[in-house]
Every structure is written in C-alpha cells, then in structure tokens.
Structure 1
Amino acid sequence: MLPCVDHLKGVLGGDWGVTFKDQCALEGTTVVVSCQYDYPFPHFVTSVRWVPGQWQFGRWVWDISTSVPPHFEYVGNYRGDCSLKINNIKHTDEGHYLFRFVTSLSRWMSKNALHLSVKDLTAVVEPNTVTEGQSVSLTCRSECGTPKHVWYRDGNVVPQPVFQASRKDSGKYYCAVAGQEKIKSASVALNVQYAPSNVVLSMTPPADIINGSSVTLSCRGDANPPVPPSGFSLYQGKQLISSGPSHTISLLQPSHSGLYHCQASNNVSVRGITFVKSTELNLDVQYLPSVADGNSVNVMCSGRANSANHSYVWYKWTSSSSLLQVGSGQLLFLSSMETPHTGIYLCQASSQLEVINSTKILLAMEEQPSYGHLSVPILGGLGACIFAILFVALLFLWKKQRKTEKKVQFPSEQVSSASTEDQSNSVYANVGKYMPSPQVPPRNYSKKQHANVMHLYGHVNTRRQRSHPQSNNSSSISNCDEVTYSTVTIQDKKSHFDENRSQESRLKMGQNADSVIYSTVANSS
C-alpha cells in the first residue's frame, strides 16, 4: 500500500501534513492504522478526530451526514501521532476516512482519504470430490494477504494441508487466522467416495422359521454414495432371486432352505471390482409337526458324534417365557396328544465338557374343519326353505283334495250287482253321479231301470282267495279280498236310453259304452 502524504509549508515556517497508508483488513479482525501529522511552530493541538470522507467537486471533503462507528478508537496523541484502532472490523466499515485536527491558531484536515477495505478468508479444497486413496490439497486465501492460519475439519485440527484421502476425511473444512480462530473462512465440503463395505444380509424374524410362515431378507452396507435400490442383488447359491434392498418370502417351503447372500454396488470400484459380496446366511425352514388329538408322539434329540456320553433333558416354553422340564432321555414320548402338549420344545444335551441346546421345535395339533361359524345361518336357512316347500306342498294337496271331494260324491247306499250269473274274478263298484239337471225318465221306465242307467262302474280286477270246498256255493261279499281302488274319472251319461235294454245287457256291453268308465287295479295280495 502506498502512503498518503499531505504536506504544506506552515504559515510561521513549519509544515502542515498527514501521513498514513490504506488499510485492508479481514472481517472480524482488529487493526491499527498507523498515522502521523505535522503542524508549524508555535501552534499546539487542541483537538483531533477521524471523520468519514466524501469525494466531491474533485476533492475529499468531510461527510458531515455520518460519523465514524463507536468501535473506531483514536490511539494517537496531540504531538504528531494520529494512529487509529478499529476493533472487530465489519464489512459496513469499508470506506474512506479523513483526519482533522485543530490548533490554537488554526485547523487542518488531510487532503487525501484513508481507504479501508474489508475482506474474508477463502478456503479452497482441491479436489472437493475424490475417490478413497486420492490426494487432497488445502489452500487458505485472502485479498488482504495470506495471514498465518490453521486448518480445521468439523472443528478438529487438520495436521497437514496435503494428504491421501480416506473415508474418515470426508467432512467440512475451513481455515482460521492463527491466534484469532474466530476469524475463519466459510466451510468447504470434501466428499470422499468409496465402494460398499461391511455388506450384511439379515433375516426377519431371525429364528424359528416355520414351514408356511414368511421371512424378509434385507441387505445393507456402508458406502458413499449410498447404494441405490437397484444396486442390491439377492442370491440363493448362484441363482439370482431378486433385486432391491429387501425380499420377502410370504409362504416358506422346504425348497427355500439354503445359503443366501447379497451383493451391493454403487459404481465405485475397488481394484476393478464394483460388486461387493456379503457373508452367507443359512435359511433353515423347519417343519411344523402337527398331530391329531389323541395320537402318540415321539420326538428324538440327536447330539454330536460322542452322543453316548451325553445326558438329555427336555424342556417346554411356558406362557411366562420360562423353561419347564417335561422329560429326560434322548426320546420324548407323548402317549396321547392333547391341547396342553402344544408349544415350543427343545432338548439340552450335556456332558462333562459341554452343554448344548438344540434348535426349537414347535409342536401343534391338527386343526379340524370347523363349520360352527357357518352352521347357524346355513342350516337355519336350509331348514326354513324345506319347511316352506313342505308347507306349500301340503297346502296344495289339501286344496286339491277338497276340490275333489266337492266334485265327486258317493251315494249313501251302494247298489249290489252280485248276481250269480255275473260271479267271476271281477268285483264291481257302482258309483252314482248326480246330474246337474236331472232328466225325467219316460213313462214306461221304471225307477229301478232309471237308477241303473244313472250308475257308472269301476271295474277292479282282484285275485280271490281259493275258497274252501264247503264254501263254493257261497256268494257273500265277505269272502272277497280287499279291493284297492285307483282314481276314478266320472263322465256324464248320454241322455238317450234304450227302453228295451235290460240291466243285464247293459252290464255285458258296458265296456263300449261312453257312460261307463273302467279303472283296473291289480291287487298285490
């Protein structure tokens, strides 16, 4: 910085003048601006002050509209030293300042202005993104010159500004003025990238994997940048199962048992290898033994090669998560499986050298099909439907029977036609029908003939019992077998009667008469 010198010949032979240098300071620092002034003899100084300067009309003048901040401190004297101390410099302090003093005989103000510039420290990390193992250089810069400084990473001192980056070197770096650590630069991040490490495949739940249950396999690892979802792959042996950080098997089968591992990649290679493999995880799908109620159960505990030296004790987990001894010996026998026997069992094999616990086994009872939740609505609805159908059927039959009874009526007196000449294996039932409009017979008709004409016959074949020899002459109807009647359909007779036809001829020719209907029923006796 060039010094500013104001120098004029004093009126009484002395020199008037002010000498200082422009000042560049870091924000937050405290600086002292060195300044000297001169005046002629026999003047003596009565007051001094620094004032803001303003360029106006081709010269520096006092800007009386403002004043210097309170943290500007005059540290000179009245005999030629006009030094100025500025504490905790701020960016708002940047500007031009003039020195003015008053003597006993005159006054004087510097012709040139002090220029105060306020700057910041700048931290530079090169490069700011590196792969693990590359070199990193730290540089602290300032427009006011490079002061003695110290480097920090996340508040911790960095011993060397040049180093080989490792993953632990990632963080935020800044530099600070030595001895004035509060005066520091803005932070700059260093990003150290590295391939996945500590890749682990885990399983949830971690134990008691039962056939038919579900399990979730999850892969994770430490990497920068983080492994994307597409960067994870799950394998069973050498077979690819899925891509992604997790995989769920919802219905475990014995075929799912085996060794699994995952691979992770974030496109950062280590010695040319981009995929990092996890340790193998053994998935052991255990069967869920199920036994029907009342059946016997044998559970065997198998130890190591020298199992003959082992003693075996069987335990069962209780509801309070404690172990209850339920037997001893290599074989646990349950003679009759019951509900209290269900639960988780394990055996403990012990010898003089070691005590070994077996894997857990879950013993359960077979579930019987249960329709209890369906029996009430289904059976109730079915019963209601059957009842309704039967009710409708019975009502229909009852109405049909009533209709038939109203249509067909039997006379109170039956006319017997059991004459000796017509005795055969046939039995006749005479059914009388009342005509809706009875006709009056001719005069030469007898009442008997009219009654015969008004009768219809039902012809019923029946097997008669073989009569005893003594009863051959008997024609009583009591010797006939019981007659079974079928439904008889009745039709109206013709209104024309033949007066010369006798009752016997009508019976013989009744098979072709329209007014006679025959219904034949074979007796099963």
Structure 2
Amino acid sequence: MAGNTSLAAILMLLAGVQAQQSVTLSSQSLCAVTGSTVKISCKYTTPDYYSVSKKEWYQLQNSDGEERVLTYIPGRVSVSTWWNDCDLTVRDVRVRDSGVYNFRFRTSSSDWISASSGVNLTVTELQVKVDHKTAGQRKVKVICSSTCSLREKLYYNWYRRNMRFESHIRDNFILLNSKSLSDEGSYSCEVSDGSMWRRSKPVCKSQTWPVRQHQTEEY
C-alpha cells in the first residue's frame, strides 16, 4: 500500500512539473510581403531547478508536413536568447519561407516541450492590379496590392519601363490615361515602411489595359 502511495505521489509531482513547462507564441498566423522582416514573439517557462539541455525552432513545410530545424543565419534568421525569450526574427522573407513555425525545448528530465500549435506564416509578393471598376474608362486606376493587409502610412514608389516616375506618395494607387501612348510599357510598384523598400514584379500595359505578367523584363 505504501509503495502505491509513493508511486502516486511521484506521478503527481512529475505531472506538476510538466504543467509548469510550456511554450507561448504571440499569434497563430502571420502574413508578410516578400523582402520584409517577420518577428514571432515567444516565451518558454520551466522550473528553475531544471536545466534546458536543448532548444530549437522548426518549420513544418506546407507541401509535405516534414519538419525542418531552422539554421540561424547571421543577418537573416536570429533568435532571442535573453532569459526565457525565444523570439524568432526572419529578415528578407521569401515565398518559400511560408509554413508553420514552432519552438521547442527539452530539459535533462523531460521530453520535447512545444506550443500546442505553431504560427502559420504566409509570405506573398506585391502585385500591380487594375481596379476592375475603371477597366475600359479613360482614366484607369492601377493599385499596388498584396493578399496581406498592408499597413497604413506606407510610402509608395512607381516605376514605368523600369524608371521611377512617382516617389514617396502615400496612396497605394495611380491614375493612368488608358489611351496615352506615353503610358505604354511595364509597371511595378515599391513600398516602404520607412526602413526598407520592397518591389513588385513588373506588369505590362497595353492600350486597352488587359494586364498580364511580364515574362522577360528584369528589374
């Protein structure tokens, strides 16, 4: 009887210790534009008397669900190491960085501890689109957009035939004359939050403004 009581006490103690170990992430999903910086806030907790033997961020690839442990790349991928912080920062994000990210750690007496669900990061490119409401009109509204919600108070640059013709404007659109030969060519937009510029792929304009991806021009 005493042996059963001791075993139950040990199991309760271990369960209590396990409950004190956790990972907390700031959000469940993030969306970012290519070239921007993404920060995932993270905290982990564990009793002081348990030493952390290993900790790492890993990514679940969208395509096959396979885990990929992140490699810390100076200047691009970094992790905060202050006390129990585990913030992940990824700079100059690319579309291939999309996926589910999670942090985990283990101690000398526990298996891996991680958040119940990771953070789903979606990275998308800027796009130049024509407002369909203005299609066929003399003045066509051309918009710099993204599937992510762009923050307010951004700066925009516009390029025609790879040459800038509008700089540091607050609006995310321009109005062009659909019949003007001088407006012919490829267009791209550039957006900045004041620290870094990100630029879209160029899009071609014809006189009737069907918009198609430009396949040959580089920028």
TM-score, normalised to structure 1, is 0.29
Of the three residues 52, 55, 76, the one matched with 2:59 is 52
In structure 2, the residue matched to 1:186 is 201
How many angstroms apart in 1 are the aligned matches of 2:115 and 2:184? 53
Map 1:122-133 → 2, pairs under 5 A = 122-126=127-131
Of the three residues 93, 96, 121, the one matched with 1:89 is 93
How many angstroms apart in 2 are the aligned matches of 1:177 and 1:114? 25
**Kept in 2: contact 1:10–1:40 (CA 8 A):** no
Counterpart check, 1:121 vs 2:126: yes
**Kept in 1: contact 2:30–2:119 (CA 8 A):** yes
**Kept in 2: contact 1:48–1:100 (CA 8 A):** yes
SS in 2 for 1:106: coil
Structure 2 counterpart of 1:152, which letter?
Y
99 and 135 in structure 1: CA distance in 2 versus 1, 3 angstrom threshold:
same
Q: How big is each residue's C-alpha offset from its partner over 1:100-156, in whole Å with a ceiling of 9 and x where there is no partner? A: 11335435223212222121111113479868xx21212111112124333222221
Instruction: Could you tell me which runs of 5 or more consecutive residues in structure 1 were left unpaired when the two chains were aligned.
Output: 1-8, 56-60, 194-525
1:99 positional shift? 0.8
Give the superposed CA RMSD.
Answer: 3.4
How many angstroms apart in 2 are the aligned matches of 1:167 and 1:88? 37
Structure 2 counterpart of 1:85, which letter?
T
In structure 2, the residue matched to 1:98 is 102
Counterpart check, 1:175 vs 2:183: no
Map 1:143-292 → 2, pairs under 5 A = 143-147=147-151, 148=154, 149-154=156-161, 155-158=163-166, 161-163=173-175, 165=177, 166-178=180-192, 179-181=195-197, 183-192=198-207
How many angstroms apart in 2 are the aligned matches of 1:130 and 1:20? 45
**Kept in 1: contact 2:31–2:121 (CA 8 A):** yes
1:62 positional shift? 7.9
Q: How big is each residue's C-alpha offset from its partner over 1:308-348, in whole Å with a ceiling of 9 and x where there is no partner? A: xxxxxxxxxxxxxxxxxxxxxxxxxxxxxxxxxxxxxxxxx
**Kept in 2: contact 1:26–1:120 (CA 8 A):** yes
Q: How big is each residue's C-alpha offset from its partner over 1:209-263, in whole Å with a ceiling of 9 and x where there is no partner? A: xxxxxxxxxxxxxxxxxxxxxxxxxxxxxxxxxxxxxxxxxxxxxxxxxxxxxxx
Indicate the structure whose relative CO is greater, using CA pairs within 8 Å and at least 6 residues apart.
2
Instruction: Could you tell me which runs of 5 or more consecutive residues in structure 2 were left unpaired when the two chains were aligned.
Output: 1-14, 209-219
1:192 positional shift? 4.3
**Kept in 1: contact 2:25–2:118 (CA 8 A):** no
74 and 144 in structure 1: CA distance in 2 versus 1, 3 angstrom threshold:
same
Structure 2 counterpart of 1:24, which letter?
C
**Kept in 2: contact 1:12–1:40 (CA 8 A):** no
How many angstroms apart in 2 are the aligned matches of 1:99 and 1:10? 21
1:158 positional shift? 2.4
1:25 positional shift? 1.9
SS in 2 for 1:36: strand
SS in 2 for 1:11: helix
1:174 positional shift? 1.3
Bigger radius of gyration, 1 or 2? 1
How many angstroms apart in 2 are the aligned matches of 1:20 and 1:67? 20
How many angstroms apart in 2 are the aligned matches of 1:13 and 1:94? 31
Aligned residues: 175
**Kept in 1: contact 2:157–2:190 (CA 8 A):** yes
How many angstroms apart in 1 are the aligned matches of 2:61 and 2:207? 51
In structure 2, the residue matched to 1:32 is 39
Q: How big is each residue's C-alpha offset from its partner over 1:157-180, in whole Å with a ceiling of 9 and x where there is no partner? A: 326734462432222211112253
1:84 positional shift? 0.8
**Kept in 1: contact 2:56–2:69 (CA 8 A):** no
